[in-house]
Structure 1
């Protein structure tokens, strides 16, 4: 589907285009980054989407999004620190995945600082620290160094992740995602033991989540995996019993979306959490290849309408049943996460 002239002008303003009228609420003095002026078509598209759907991207610090999310040229460092306010003014971007929390636990005050920069109807998708979500301790090159004794620790999951997120984000907490890194062969051969540990951790998390229900009513706990061996009835039963959901991980390490849906059907009715991470053409270890090909992330290089259509159907079914839906997209999915969100929004509105 091609963009209308108005949409193209809004997303890719020309050098000789007339400057937008002054908009005090968007002045750089407030955030240091000016959001791109919106146009009625974007506002109308956002208004027509299900209100229980929140879409967004993986982080927001990309200079190549000039003309898509912000107006002007900014450094990655400035965007990382001050770009979230501008990002959250885009009508379609009502969520974002906080990926930095995977590498180091964040404090409640750090989460609160993020929450202060976004509107009340914004919801964060937050990744659990590798401290509890990775079965191995990794070196600087990402290779496994030794087994992680804290893997799936209930106490650390609460102390270093769940409590700080809920205390800091409050009502802006969306999906708390335990993205389990690929298991080493030794553990993959003992998957029953891993499932038992996962169940123990999730059962400890659920009462904590319920204790914050009044202040964080939309918060859900989800588990994303990178081994297809998890996709079995026992895994779905575990999630259901623990009050958690499955995070659709659209990544080449996992089967296509259609082959992951049986887990969600086993949990129905329930919320949708989806992280669209990487185009399948790049293979399981293709992040760097995708990054090199897609930078500066300002256009769709490898459109994937089949995945988009399948995901739109799941969104429509989930929100149509009155359930929450959180969907975040990486630049490596198609080339430009904001444009992927735009096309997914259009596809969602075409579903009955």
Structure 2
């Protein structure tokens, strides 16, 4: 395997690009794009893509599926759908419209982190998207959080179900497999930040993680593209022992772009240790907000209709990883949050443009 497979040699942003990394508030859609048309009350209609967007989507690697974290944001009018719509309306009708966008070939179902979803709920999601669409599903926090938390998010006591093989199987893997079928792309076990007492006992937790992963049912043949991925929020996990556990279980590492984690380049050894294999990446939070900055990002970025902090360096680094992995025939699932730069659909387009630039060289 070549060292440049995961983008060690990255293009440096030009002077013009570097200037664009400063906070901005203007909408970045092309000026020649037609204004969003108001739609009939009760109906959500997709934005008609312009030729540039269709050309961009057609130039992307077939193995790449880009998308966002959830889809219920009224501020995406003119970018994903036309007209004004409420969160509730988009929750019911938005997914089918979202899936018609040329760049959106995956989405992260984040609500499953807060409460396990049923087979029928997953079936409803699957019925709204094309055959080639793939879902990223977050495992419920009852399995992935080391603490039982109060409503304000504060840890109250150790969670006895943390890394429970039985709950992981019954509350996550089996319902998602049955409901989504071949449209299941990745099941992500995002391990929440650990209390210091547990960080000191990582070898024990690694063994518990190994036991859980080995107990999960195989995703194939029901979901041939499906993969189990583990995302962490403590850099102490990033060790050869962690990689060995994932490799033994046939799982992969979820590249987590979050202020609590090291930069993308520092996480690449995990991908190399698991090569060959697919890429699962979740771009969660811009580092300007710090490791606990979700609320700050929400206050600044809502209604998520424009870019505030374009992170061109991360875009370029991520595009290099995507190009390296898909160029060798492996799948890539990349989902992006509004908290990454301010507007997830615009960030998706920016990453897509960087991937196409690399392919043209």
Q: Which runs of 4+ in 1 moved over 3 A?
A: 5-10
Flag the structure with higher helix content: 1
1:283 is aligned to 290
Distance 1:233 1:217 in 2: 27
Matches within 5 A, 1:165-204: 165-204=176-215
Structure showing greater relative contact order (alpha-carbon pairs closer than 8 Å, 6 or more residues apart): 2
Instruction: Tell me, yes or no, if structure 1 residue 249 matches structure 2 residue 249.
Output: no
**2:328 is the counterpart of 1:321:** yes
The answer to whether 1:14 aligns with 2:35 is: yes
Select the residue among 209, 218, 224 that pairs with 1:209: 218
Tell whether 2:210 aligns with 1:227: no
Q: Deviations over 1:243-270 (max 9, x none)?
A: 0000011000100001011101111111
Please give the per-residue CA displacement for 1:239-296, whole angstroms capped at 9, x wherever unaligned.
1111000001100010000101110111111100000000001001101111111111
Conservation of the 8 A alpha-carbon contact between 2:71 and 2:91: yes
Q: Supply the distance in 1 between the matched residues of 2:40 and 2:252 (Cα, whole angstroms).
A: 40
Q: Distance in 2 between matches of 1:219 and 1:43?
A: 27
User: Judging changes above 3 Å, is the alpha-carbon distance between structure 1 residues 145 and 117 closer, same or farther for their aligned structure 2 residues?
Assistant: same
- Does the 8 A contact of 1:35 with 1:86 survive in 2? yes
Say whether residues 1:311 and 2:318 are aligned partners: yes
Q: Distance in 2 between matches of 1:154 and 1:239?
A: 15
Other structure's SS at 2:96 match? helix
Unaligned runs of 5+ in 2: 1-16, 21-27
Q: Do structure 1's residue 333 and structure 2's residue 340 form an aligned pair?
A: yes
Offset, 1:28: 6.8
Which residue does 2:152 correspond to in 1?
141
- Residue of structure 1 in register with 2:24 after alignment: none
Out of 116, 126, 139, the position equivalent to 2:137 is 126
Q: CA deviation at 1:6?
A: 9.3
**2:46, 2:97 within 8 Å by CA — same for their partners in 1?**
yes
Deviation sequence 1:162-204 (CA, Å, 0-9, x none): 0000110001100100000001111111000100000001111
Task: Deviation per CA, 1:48-71: give whole Å up to 9, x if none.
Answer: 101111010010011100000000
Q: Structure 1 unaligned runs (5+)?
A: 21-26
Contact 2:258–2:283 (CA under 8 A) maintained in structure 1: yes
Distance 2:274 2:40 in 1: 45
For residues 41 and 192 of structure 1, what CA distance do their matches in structure 2 show? 51
Report what 1:274 is aligned to. 281
CA gap 1:333/1:6 in 2 versus in 1, 3 angstroms: closer
User: Which residue among 86, 100, 103 is the counterpart of 2:97?
Assistant: 86
Of 40, 53, 65, 1:54 maps to 65
Q: TM-score, normalised by structure 1?
A: 0.92
CA contact (8 A) 1:7 1:39 kept: no
Three-state SS of the structure 2 residue aligned to 1:234 is helix
Task: Determine if contact 2:35/2:78 at 8 Å carries over to the other structure.
Answer: no
Give RMSD over aligned pairs.
1.8
Among candidates 263, 266, 288, match of residue 259 of structure 1: 266
Classify the secondary structure of the residue corresponding to 1:291: helix
Q: Structure 2-normalised TM-score?
A: 0.89
Work out the CA distance in 1 between the residues paired with 2:255 and 2:101. Answer: 25
Superposed CA offset, 1:321-349 (max 9, x none): 11110000000100100000000000001
Please say if 1:297 is aligned against 2:318: no
SS at match of 1:332: coil
**Do 2:243 and 2:273's aligned partners in 1 also have CA atoms closer than 8 Å?**
yes
1:298: how far off?
A: 1.0
Q: Secondary structure of the equivalent of 2:188?
A: strand
2:149/2:157 contact within 8 Å kept: yes
